[in-house]
């Protein structure tokens, strides 16, 4: 049980979940988990935000097409872009679960957001999701003009497993000679799949949305071979060198098993000379960023992220 104190709106949400008697995620098959959890995530996001500039398309990936959803703001482009990867433990989540998040970020940042529907586990094990994420990011950069995007001002971001994919894409881009990225937004990211031996796991491992058991469930579905957990494309915290990555914003939730590995990754980036801002949001639990319909701090945090992105996109250091 947690040593932190939940925000009253979070306490109310957790109480309603307990009263509803929903089965724990780790007791469900992946298909059952998607059927049960995805609609709840959409509900927590609140009524659909009015945002007229939304379009869907398929882009080429390493093993077939990758669906994406493009959120383009009003006005004349080209706009900067955020390539966004949804959370869900690489097992659940889709374009719809994060539709309001992407609309809100596009609206508040005044940028194009490209949401990526990467292939899920266990049907597609590591490194499939990471390769899809990288391919989509490269596509956005190479095809920016046709979607009204400035290829010199592209950031990546995501929550939880999506935060993992965002920073892994940064590692891949450094290793593979591009694309050049100007910023990374990592919202309670998974950064180390090799170990659960952290204080935040011990303090917050039961009674909340992401438990020790559910994290083990997601890990087992995503990882094919145990040695894969040591690969930097699965556990970026284990990368020997983090130099040359884009500046970062890392957000953590106070009552979350992933809090410690987020702060450790922020420290590693800072030690590598990467401008990095780390913020821990008081009273929040894992997945709160998707709860703008029921938790006030979620919308406030969208404002915060949008502000950091605007600054990054319009920084004098950003290539033109």
List residues with catalytic annotation: 160, 256, 286
* Cα dihedral: 106, 87, 123, 37 (round 10): -110
Question: CA-to-CA distance for 268 and 226, rounded, in angstroms?
Answer: 24
Question: CA-to-CA distance for 93 and 173, rounded, in angstroms?
Answer: 25
Q: Is 275:248 a contact under the CB 8 Å cutoff?
A: yes
What are the φ and ψ backbone dihedral angles of 157, each rounded to 5 degrees? -160, 165
What are the φ and ψ backbone dihedral angles of 71, each rounded to 5 degrees? -115, 105
Of the candidates 161, 68, 155, 187, which has an alpha carbon nearest to the alpha carbon of residue 117? 68
Question: CA-to-CA distance for 284 and 307, rounded, in angstroms?
Answer: 20
Which helix (H) or strand (E) is 279 found in, with range? strand 276-285
Tokens of 2: 């947690």
- Find where tokens 């080209």 sit: 78
CB atoms under 10 Å from CB of 145, counted, come to 11
């Amino acid at each position: 049980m947690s040593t932190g104190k939940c925000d009253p709106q979070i306490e109310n949400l957790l109480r309603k979940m307990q009263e509803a008697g929903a089965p724990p995620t780790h007791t469900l098959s992946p298909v059952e988990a998607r059927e049960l959890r995805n609609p709840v995530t959409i509900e927590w996001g609140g009524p659909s935000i009015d945002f007229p500039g939304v379009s869907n398309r398929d882009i080429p990936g390493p093993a077939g097409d990758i669906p994406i959803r493009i959120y383009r703001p009003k006005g004349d482009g080209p706009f900067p872009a955020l390539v966004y990867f949804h959370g869900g433990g690489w097992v659940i989540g889709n374009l719809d679960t994060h539709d309001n998040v992407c609309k809100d970020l596009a609206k508040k940042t005044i940028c194009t957001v490209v949401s990526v529907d990467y292939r899920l586990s266990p049907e597609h094990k590591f490194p499939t999701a990471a390769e899809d994420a990288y391919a989509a990011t490269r596509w956005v950069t190479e095809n920016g003009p046709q979607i009204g995007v400035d290829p010199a001002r592209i950031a990546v971001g995501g929550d939880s497993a999506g935060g993992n994919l965002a920073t892994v894409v940064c590692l891949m881009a450094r290793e593979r000679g591009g694309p050049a990225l100007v910023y990374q937004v990592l919202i309670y990211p998974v950064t180390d799949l090799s170990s659960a031996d952290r204080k935040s796991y011990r303090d917050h491992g039961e009674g909340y949305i992401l438990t020790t058991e559910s994290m083990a469930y997601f890990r087992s579905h995503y990882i094919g071979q145990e040695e894969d957990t040591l690969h930097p494309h699965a556990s970026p915290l284990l990368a020997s060198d983090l130099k040359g990555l884009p500046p970062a914003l890392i957000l953590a939730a106070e009552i979350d098993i992933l809090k410690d590995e987020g702060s450790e990754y922020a420290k590693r980036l800072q030690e590598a000379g990467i401008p990095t801002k780390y913020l821990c949001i008081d009273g929040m639990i894992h997945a709160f960023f998707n709860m703008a319909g029921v938790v006030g701090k979620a919308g406030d945090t969208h404002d915060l992220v949008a502000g950091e992105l605007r600054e990054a996109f319009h920084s004098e250091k950003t290539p033109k």
